[in-house]
Amino acid sequence: MSAPVPALAEVVAQMRVVSLPLATRFRGVDHREAVLVEGPEGWAEFSPFLEYDDAESATWLAAALDFAWNPQPAGRRAAIPVNATVPAVAAADVPGVLARFDGCRTAKVKVAERGQSLDDDIARVAAVRAEMGAEARIRIDANGGWNVDEAERAAHALAEFDLEYVEQPCASVDELAEIRRRLRDWDIPIAADESVRKAADPLRVARAGAADILVVKAQPLGGVRRALDIVQAAGLPAVVSSALDTSVGLAQGAALAAALPSLEFDCGLGTAALLAVDVAEPRLAAAGGVILASRVEPEAELLDAHTACSDRVAWWRERVARCHALLS
């Protein structure tokens, strides 16, 4: 039985809305807005992207309320290995991005950016390989930006860089199944992200044989417990990732990574490095290639310094109220 949803008045009483500038433009934005809320168990984050509707966003709110109001599953590890994340930057900018991720042995490189070409992707991945060396692991993330033929061509072109896996090369489960079939002889695994976190049935991708790996995120999947249930039911190895969270939100992801029965891959939880400022000092960023699985308490001074403007605070309050009504 799920825990009761706390009253809306209780939620908004300790709610703070922040707007944080990014160090590098990412997902088409240069600021990240988030709601931080404090409950009996500590702080949690609610930060669905602005374009998401209320039905999808309510799942993110459920995750935040569960993390702030309820004890979480026991952790199996204290330190979580994390990957560097390279946005769709020019190849010349890659060394500066990687320098923010202390000790990381894996890089996730964004590809298939709108307005860019496969040549841009190849140059970026080549720059990552040159900077990190032959022993590093490189995975690419297309965010569903290719059709099957484009994905096959890109995977063949990038195979020389010894890809760990390709994340969400195509948008649909059927397309993922087809590109996985085409790439089987190339020994390039397929990871599913949007086909899990944005799907009405997050297990369909596993049943269809459309992925080798699941990418799971605590917020979009409704919290640590539900994400653990999905991984167990899917029977596939999992990579825990984030959605450009503050350090508070990254702590939710770290709790999920800590609780997984096994953790075969470095996790996408080092993304505090992509923020120019954060709500905690020190922020939950990679040190020696790992972050610690522990709750994060934001600092009052940083919350005050980065509080969103009044119009944005009102917008987020209304959004929280609408999503809360769906949960209630």
List the catalytic residue out of 100, 110, 197, 226. Answer: 110
Region class of 115: left (phi > 0), else alpha (psi between -120 and 50), else beta: left
> Does 198 participate in catalysis according to the annotation?
no
List the catalytic residue out of 108, 129, 197, 217. Answer: 217
- 141 labelled ligand-binding: yes
- Give the Cα-Cα-Cα angle 40, 42, 48 (nearest 5 degrees): 110
Residues ≥6 apart with Cβ < 8 Å to 213? 165, 189, 190, 191, 192, 236, 237, 238, 239, 265
- 311 labelled ligand-binding: no
**88 vs 120: CA distance, rounded Å:** 9
> Does 108 participate in catalysis according to the annotation?
no
Residues ≥6 apart with Cβ < 8 Å to 325? 8
Residue 20 has phi, psi (to 5 degrees) of -115, 125
- 212 labelled ligand-binding: no
Q: So which residues are the catalytic ones?
A: 110, 217
Report the binding-site residues.
Answer: 141, 167, 193
Report the binding-site residues for Mg(2+).
Answer: 141, 167, 193
